[in-house]
């Protein structure tokens, strides 16, 4: 019987360890990039993620960029805005919300245009838009698409080059045309829609230089 008793006693520390072990807590403040609808509720900003019914109290970042940039767009009569931000979710104190979204970075905020309904966002690396003359560039892993009113769409392969400071160049010399798109981290306001992004854009096509705004798509690697 002694060997059996010894074996039983030797297992007690193992059982004790199993009883006190707990899984690692989930970090509810983990940063994530998320898009959705922004509305006002009294003095608060409420955020609803795309294709969801949950609502979160939006807590602005240290620089107050969401509140500041949304003020003019709401003043223009918009009832809701589209926002693309990076932040962390946390539990809320109010029974009227599903928690809080604490914003760290604002990528884009707009009152017009495709937001949650954009079918290309997930695969887009960079989207750039300019006015007077109007132009639109979409870049994904397959190539660069340039669209201009009254002209055929141009689809070309490209070479990307990044430089210190966060600027990037997407260039091509295919189809006999020299094209280069530069994007740089800089607050930019669309002159037609009032949309605000955190990238400026410069499109160089042959000898013409056109300027506009840009934003990172869902496939953009930060």
Measured CA to CA, the distance from residue 97 to residue 56 in angstroms comes to 5
Q: What is the pLDDT of residue 29?
A: 61
Please give the torsion angle defined by the CA atoms of residues 168, 178, 149 and 215, in that order, rounded to the nearest 10 degrees: 0
Residue-wise pLDDT for 16-31, tens only, equals 444 444 444 434 568 9
Residue with tokens 């932040």: 87
Identify the pLDDT of residue 20: 45
- 112-155: pLDDT as tens digits: 988 999 999 999 999 999 999 999 999 999 999 999 999 999 99
DSSP string, 29-57: T-EEEEEEEEEEETTEEEEEETT----EE
Which ranges in the chain are annotated with CATH 2.40.50? 31-110
Residue 4 in this model has a pLDDT that exceeds 50:
no
The pLDDT > 90 percentage for the chain reads 77
The span from the CA of 127 to the CA of 138, in Å, is 5
d(CA 76, CA 98): 29
* Predicted pLDDT of residue 25: 44
72, 134, 181 from 189: Cα distances, Å: 12, 15, 18
Tell me which of 113 and 215 has the higher pLDDT: 215
Architecture of domain 31-110: Beta Barrel (2.40)
Average pLDDT over residues 202-208: 93
Supply the pLDDT for residue 94. 65
Question: Exposed (0-12), middle (13-18) or buried (19+): which is 188, by Cβ within 10 Å?
Answer: buried
> What pLDDT does 92 receive?
65
């Amino acid at each position: 019987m002694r060997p059996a008793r010894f074996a039983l006693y030797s297992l007690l520390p193992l059982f004790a360890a199993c009883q006190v072990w707990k899984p690692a807590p989930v970090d509810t403040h983990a940063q994530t990039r998320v898009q959705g609808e922004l509305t006002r509720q009294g003095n608060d900003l409420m955020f609803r993620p795309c294709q969801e019914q949950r609502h979160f109290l939006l807590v602005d970042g240290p620089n107050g960029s969401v509140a500041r940039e949304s003020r003019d767009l709401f003043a223009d009569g918009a009832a809701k805005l589209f926002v693309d931000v990076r932040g962390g979710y946390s539990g809320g104190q109010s029974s009227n919300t599903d928690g809080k979204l604490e914003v760290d970075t604002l990528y884009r905020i707009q009152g017009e245009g495709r937001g949650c309904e954009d079918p290309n966002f997930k695969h887009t690396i960079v989207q750039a838009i300019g006015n007077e003359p109007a132009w639109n560039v979409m870049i994904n892993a397959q190539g660069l698409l340039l669209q201009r009113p009254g002209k055929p769409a141009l689809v070309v392969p490209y070479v990307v080059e990044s430089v210190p400071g966060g600027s990037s160049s997407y260039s091509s010399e295919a189809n006999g045309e020299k094209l280069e798109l530069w994007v740089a981290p800089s607050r930019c306001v669309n002159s037609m829609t009032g949309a605000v992004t955190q990238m400026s854009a410069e499109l160089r096509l042959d000898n013409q230089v056109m300027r506009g705004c840009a934003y990172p798509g869902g496939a953009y690697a930060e």
